[in-house]
Amino acid sequence: MKLVLQSISSLAVFLVLLGFHHPLIAGPISREELATKKVYTSFTEALQEPQEVYRLDISGLELKEIPKAIVKLVNLQELDLSHNRLSELAAPIASLQNLEYIDLGYNNFKSIPAGLDELRNLKHLNLKGNKISGFNNSLTKLNRLEALDLAGNELEAISFSKGALTQLKYLNLENNQLASLPDFSPLENLQSLALGHNALTGNVFLKLEQNKNLRHLLLNNNLLRNLDELKEAKVSELKSLEYLNLSANSLTALPAEIEKLSSLKRLDIDQNKLSVLPPELKNLNHLAQLGAADNQFSSFPEQVLDIPQLSSLSLGNNNITALPEQIQQLSGLKNLYLNGTNISGSSPGFKLLGGLDTLDIEGIPLSTEEVMELYLANSPALIYYHDKHNNSSFFLKQLFSDDKEYLSGLLAACDAGEGQSCFDLARFNKRNGLDEAADFYYAKTVLHSEKGGFLNLEASFALAELLEKRLEEPNYLDKDDLDYTRLLSDTIFTAYSNICNLDITDSTAAEVQALSCQKSAQILDSQVRIYKAALSQYTRDVERISGSSPVSATGYADAVKGEMDKKLKLTQLNAKIDKLRQAIEYLQQESSKYTEKAN
């Protein structure tokens, strides 16, 4: 039977390479249907029912090569091979003709892997976090590719040939070493281009004149000093551009020609050296969001007052001392960020603020009375400020005018150490979608309630749930930041495990306790995966250092010192590897214990 299956797989590869359709391949299913399919995380399990496998995640397993038996997964559409040790792709991957999404991020590729060109149905390709140094018109046959992620590589140059990648919509080139750009005109359907964290000094818009479908352009964290090229480039052709991010450059001024970007809805110019804005901004009739925090404004930039459709304005961390009365001209303003400025509470503009959804005044030295006055004047409003009395930042939200007296009473009672009032405030904020405020008041409830009591238990569980929800949010933190991810996981685990280990007799509380035990086990399993990823990285470091020579071995003494440094690094890394292996074994044992308690 095994021989027959191998023969069928070999025939499948041969037929596909010749252009014939595999009789067992059902053809790609819709994205909606695909989302309902099981994600297989065990290759062994996947091989037990190969025709049922549409989604396979074998990331973080330290794989050096792709299992040859993958050819049996004829209906595979999503494949995650990230965080392994791959340096090349096996030829059989060409047989996976239904494959639409492949994640090869964080491996050891030094060039675009050969064989990808044969995956003609591929729509999404992730090569983030490798060591790729050249592109050179690769992937020319992938005419259905819509998204390409090459962030975090070592690209110094890139080029695109005419007729290639014509369906590409999303291109991520962040965190490379690009000092100049190619002509992007071959990418006629390009909608989103991320070029942040490179070494670009200019000549960007001149390369994008023909990309009339471009909607999002990210140029943050480069070396741009000016935008004089806007005077020459046909930027008026960029009629679809809605979002431009120029943050964290060295811009000292914006040219009047910025007005030619007539469809712009969002402009981010934070972290530059701007002290004034061009009056032509008022001609951007669709501009709704302007981020200008961390610049060199010494007064409120009055040019923004002429943009009546502005709904979000960020001016935080500037040396602004007053908020003008004309702020009321911005009748559509919903979100205002003034954190870290020097605006006083007596500033006339504060009295005229009203109808905001969000007001960030963190770091502004306002009295409690001034904060509450702003809070109650902006119903409904979300006010973010720093409470100097308890040294904590949190949100407040007012939804109904009838709640003002009630909430003021709860605030006072909670500050006085009444646990039930803190709990009621937490539930109020959670009910209205203010998770960070709920975090704060659940934590105060735990502090001001009897340990082991039902209120303490319920608040602890709710706090853990909110933290767990935050860990799962896609934009809350960088999933590759192992230290921070591990820290947050530890915090959540502590909350759940404390509940799990309490002596509880109440039947309602017992149900919560069982769920806490189950969640404790799940978090431990998640930590095991994180530790395995770290173990993989350290193992690679050992191999890299073991195969290297001392860099500065110009003489015998230098050679000896270099060899000693090398041995020291290897000793330290091997010690970390030993600790990680012990930790993984311990966590797996603990997970089993909590699973037993849950049952």
Indicate the DSSP class of residue 106.
S
Burial of 149 per CB tally in 10 Å (0-12, 13-18, 19+): buried
Burial of 441 per CB tally in 10 Å (0-12, 13-18, 19+): buried
Residue 373 token pair: 């006055």
Does residue 529 belong to any structural domain of this protein? yes
pLDDT at 19 over 50: no
Does residue 465 belong to any structural domain of this protein? yes
482 closest CA partner among 583, 365, 585? 583
Full domain range(s) for residue 495? 455-598
Helix (H/G/I), strand (E/B), else coil: 414: helix
Cis peptide bond N-terminal to 186, omega within 30:
no
For residues 34-52, average pLDDT: 91
Kindly report the backbone phi and psi dihedral angles of residue 547, in degrees, each rounded to the nearest multiple of 5, phi listed first: -95, 5
Asked which of 111-115, 228-232, 308-312, 374-378 is least confident by mean pLDDT, the reply is 374-378
pLDDT at 569 over 80: no
How far is the C-alpha of 444 from the C-alpha of 274, rounded, in Å? 42
pLDDT at 380 over 90: no
Q: Which carries the bigger pLDDT value, residue 225 or residue 395?
A: 225
* Per-residue confidence (pLDDT) for residue 458, from 0 to 100: 76
* Per-residue confidence (pLDDT) for residue 303, from 0 to 100: 93
pLDDT tens digits along 536-563? 777 777 777 776 554 444 455 555 556 6
pLDDT at 17 over 80: no
For residues 290-319, average pLDDT: 94
Domain count, the chain: 1
Does residue 574 belong to any structural domain of this protein? yes
Does residue 1 belong to any structural domain of this protein? no
Does residue 345 belong to any structural domain of this protein? no
pLDDT tens digits along 488-532? 666 666 667 767 776 665 565 666 677 777 777 777 777 777 777
pLDDT at 22 over 50: no
DSSP, residue by residue, 361-409: -TTS---HHHHHHHHHHSSSEEEEEEETTTTEEEEEEE--TTHHHHHHH
Side-chain-side CA neighbours of 202 within 13 Å: the count stands at 11
pLDDT at 316 over 90: yes
How far is the C-alpha of 77 from the C-alpha of 584, rounded, in Å? 32
pLDDT at 460 over 50: yes
pLDDT tens digits along 390-434? 333 444 443 334 455 666 677 778 878 888 888 888 887 777 666
pLDDT tens digits along 196-208? 999 999 889 989 9
What is the model's pTM?
A: 0.65
* Per-residue confidence (pLDDT) for residue 108, from 0 to 100: 96
Mean pLDDT of the chain: 79
| CA angle (24, 27, 33) in 5-degree steps | 120
Highest mean pLDDT, choosing among 26-35, 148-157, 334-343, 372-381: 148-157
Does residue 535 belong to any structural domain of this protein? yes
How far is the C-alpha of 599 from the C-alpha of 595, rounded, in Å? 6
With beta carbons less than 8 A apart as the criterion, state whether 290 and 314 touch: yes
How far is the C-alpha of 209 from the C-alpha of 203, rounded, in Å? 11
pLDDT tens digits along 248-284? 999 999 999 999 999 999 999 999 999 999 999 999 9
With beta carbons less than 8 A apart as the criterion, state whether 407 and 393 touch: no
Binning pLDDT at 50, 70 and 90, where does residue 13 land? very low
Q: Which residues contact 391 (CB under 8 A, 6 or more apart)?
A: none
Does residue 27 belong to any structural domain of this protein? no
pLDDT tens digits along 161-194? 888 899 999 999 999 999 999 989 999 999 999 9
* Per-residue confidence (pLDDT) for residue 582, from 0 to 100: 77
| CA angle (424, 428, 434) in 5-degree steps | 130
For residues 38-44, average pLDDT: 91
Does residue 400 belong to any structural domain of this protein? no
